[in-house]
Each structure stands twice: as structure tokens, then as C-alpha cells.
Amino acid sequence: MSGHIIQPDIIHEFLCLERGEGIYVYDKAGRKYMDAAAGVGVMALGYARKELADVLADQAMTIPYVHAMRFANQPSNDLANQIAEFAPEPLNWSFFASGGSEAMESALKIARQYFLQRGKPEKSRFIGRWQSFHGNTIATQSVGGHLGRRAPHQPMLINWPHIPPAYCYRCPFGLSYPNCDIQCAQALEREICWQGPETIAAFVAEPIVGAAGGATVPAPEYFPLVRQICDKYDVLFIADEVITGFGRTGKNFGIEHFGVTPDMIVTAKGISSGYAPLGALIVSDPVMAAFQTGSGKVDHNFTFAGNPLACRVGSEVLRLIEKEKLVEKAAARGKQLFAGLENFYRFPFVGDVRGKGLLAGIELVQNKEKKTPFPLEFHAYQKINELALDEGLIVYPGGGTADGYIGDHFLLMPPLIISEEEVDQLLTLLERVLTRFGALV
């Protein structure tokens, strides 16, 4: 395509996708691709959903915009009420932004204000994890921990502390589960104490790390221990569910796999199934109580916060997720997907297969026994991406898996509407991709 659009790569031409239907998209030449990345974990309900197009049109003809600093609107109220039913108790309050980065930025600011309301202004810093991604604003990149993504903006970032990831395949402590005393969680307590508990406002973590870690899943004891540590030191726990929320992992929210409740959930992507820009910050009753008994004011907003068009779509998406039992279907289709992926361990370059539900990560290695990553210059994840497109399959490739710079993986996160037959087709296409990749290594 010619034009003046700024994209991540302005030298090479991007494949132009023209339309979609179900779990498939088509390019300008009419070629069909199975979108096993759901855009980027976004298209939960698939393409060309008339119900969603209809509510967009109806809301556009009713009232498309309301300034949330001065007025309320019914679609945002409705969606907040639905989420209060859908999210774990006591997460009953929602703030709506235009995407995940804005929603995470909102979480950081409201966490800071929560401690101001309680008379603890010194609590102003946040702890993140290495090998994480929480957004593309300065603050969200600061709490994020993907070295490659941080590098260009490093001088601009806020100097917030980070702890090692919960990454059993490449344990940063050189240990093996279960004989590890969950040192990756114990590191949080050490860091809080090192920094001074009186300075730490919140710990930010993805229940299952998506783009930066290739669907890394922590040990079952990890988040229960994190919750205990946060409670001990009066530190909030913010769960980044931008990818894992709204059924992606076979639960309403990914953190529910671990039996704990965070103080805030940040979510986006599947909340609108890609039909409108929408993200949400979901806040617990105890956090909001500090504002209710304090100033009664939350000093934060965006021009498009609580946009009625986006919220109307989100409301319909959540209605359809529940009506079509897509959370349960994601769990069932996820079991089928992972059963098939287990067979790919026969490839000598498939080091690890991990994830939950319809979020799967495959880590690629040059030497399986030593877990040696491919050399950076080999561009393994890019080769997988190109081979997949050639086979009519869209996956989500990622680099820097091992240490933020080297290491390769790709994610599978198809629309939640994927059928049993389509999962089998996905596995067939992926086997062809991996077979062809094997001829290159």
C-alpha cells in the first residue's frame, strides 16, 4: 500500500487485510487466512458479527459521545453493572478507557491517589517484573519489563524496581519446581523490604504473561503467596488481564486459575472484540471506599473515557460471551488445542509449550537439552511468522523471550468462537509450518 501512515516498519510493506468472517480474514487478493492470533488476542467473537455492527450503528444514531468529566451515559453504566457481575468479588467498580495502555495508566494513577486518600503520600512507586509488558505509555513501559521494548525510551522511563519473572522453563534462580520454595514470589517480599514498604504503592503482574513471555504460567502457589506479601506490607496487587480477561484462558479472568483476588484488574482486547477501542480498569470495593470516605473525587479522565459507542459494544460483547458460553468453550477448545500441541514436542526445536485455555505459547530453541535460544541474527520468530502466512495461518510472533533480547516464541490465541473442527485445522496448518521451519534449522 502507498500512503503516509506511520507503522512499526516504514520500509517494508505490510500485508493488507481487507475483510473478515468468523475466524478468517482475507487480503486484497482474496487469499484466506485462519486468524489464530485473533488480531492480537482481540477478536474474541470473530469477524463480521452483525449484532455488534447493529449496536454500533444504533448507538451512533442515539448519542455517540458524552464528556465523562461532566455527564453520565447509559451504555457505560450498563457495562459497569455487567462487569460487576462478571468479575470476582469485590471488584465492582469500572473506569473505561480506549485501550490497555490507558487502562493501566489509570490503575497506576488511582493506586497513587488511593494512598493519598489514606494519608500515605510516600507510597508512590510500583514494582513490576522483568519479561513483562504493560503498555506503550511512559509510565506503563516503566512498570513493564521487556528490555527490548524499553531500550529506545530508557532515558525517559521512571526508575521503578523490577523482580525476576515466574518463568519455570528458564528459572532465574536456577531451581526446579516444586523444590524451589517459589523464590520468584519470595523475591517480591525482598524487593519491597529493600525499597522500603512505606514507598511501594502496588505490584503489577500478568496472571499469564502474554506477548513478552510467550504465555508463561506461574506455579500454582505463586499468586497466593504474592497476595499474602502484598497484604502484609499494605501494597496493592494490580492484575494485568489485557490479554487474559474475558474468557481467553477458560475462566472469566486469568487470575481466577490461582484462587486469589487482586485489588484491581486492568483489561482490554476481548472486552470489545475489536469492534471499538475499549479498555477497562476494574477496582475493588475496599479501594473505592477510601475515595468515598475521603475527598469523594478521582483526579483522572480521558477525552474518550466511558465513550458510549465503545461501551455499548462492550455490553453486547459481554452479553454474547455469556449467552454463547464462550468462557466454557474456551476451556474445552483449549484442552483440545493443548492435547494437539503436545505432539509437537517431537520437533527438536520446540522447547516448551505452555498456557491455558485459548492462550498458548510455543518457545523455540536451537538446542532442546540445553534450552539454547537461536542466535538473534537467525530471526527464528520472524521465519515462523512468514512460513505461517504462506500456509494461510496467522500466529503472533515474539522475540526476546529468554532475556529481553534473545529467544523466540509465538502465541496462539484464536477467537473464542473457534470450533472443534477449526482447532484440528489449526493444528494441521501449524504442523506444516513447523515441518518447513525444521528444514531451515
* Per-residue pLDDT tens digits of the chain, which is 441 residues long: 557 888 888 888 899 999 999 999 999 999 999 999 999 999 999 999 999 999 999 999 999 999 999 999 999 999 999 999 999 999 999 999 999 999 999 999 999 999 999 999 999 999 999 999 999 999 999 999 999 999 999 999 999 999 999 999 999 999 999 999 999 999 999 999 999 999 999 999 999 999 999 999 999 999 999 999 999 999 999 999 999 999 999 999 999 999 999 999 999 999 999 999 999 999 999 999 999 999 999 999 999 999 999 999 999 999 999 999 999 999 999 999 999 999 999 999 999 999 999 999 999 999 999 999 999 999 999 999 999 999 999 999 999 999 999 999 999 999 999 999 999 999 999 999 999 999 999
Intervals of CATH 3.40.640.10 along the chain: 53-323
Q: Are strands 359-364 and 408-412 parallel, antiparallel or unpaired?
A: antiparallel
**420-438 helix and 380-390 helix, angle to the nearest 10 degrees:** 130
* 53-323: CATH topology: Aspartate Aminotransferase; domain 2 (3.40.640)
Intervals of CATH 3.90.1150.10 along the chain: 17-48+325-438
Helix, strand or coil, per DSSP, at residue 127: strand
Contact 285, 298 (CB under 8 A): no
Q: What is the largest CA-CA distance in the chain?
A: 65
pLDDT reported for residue 9: 85
Neighbour-count burial for 257-288, b at 16+ CB within 10 Å, e otherwise? bbebbbbbbbbbbbbbbbbbbbbbbbbbeebb
pLDDT reported for residue 2: 58
Distance CA 96, CA 106 (A): 9
* 17-48+325-438: CATH topology: Aspartate Aminotransferase, domain 1 (3.90.1150)
Using a cut of 0.85, tell me whether the model's pTM lies above it. yes
Grid coordinates representing 421 are 473442527
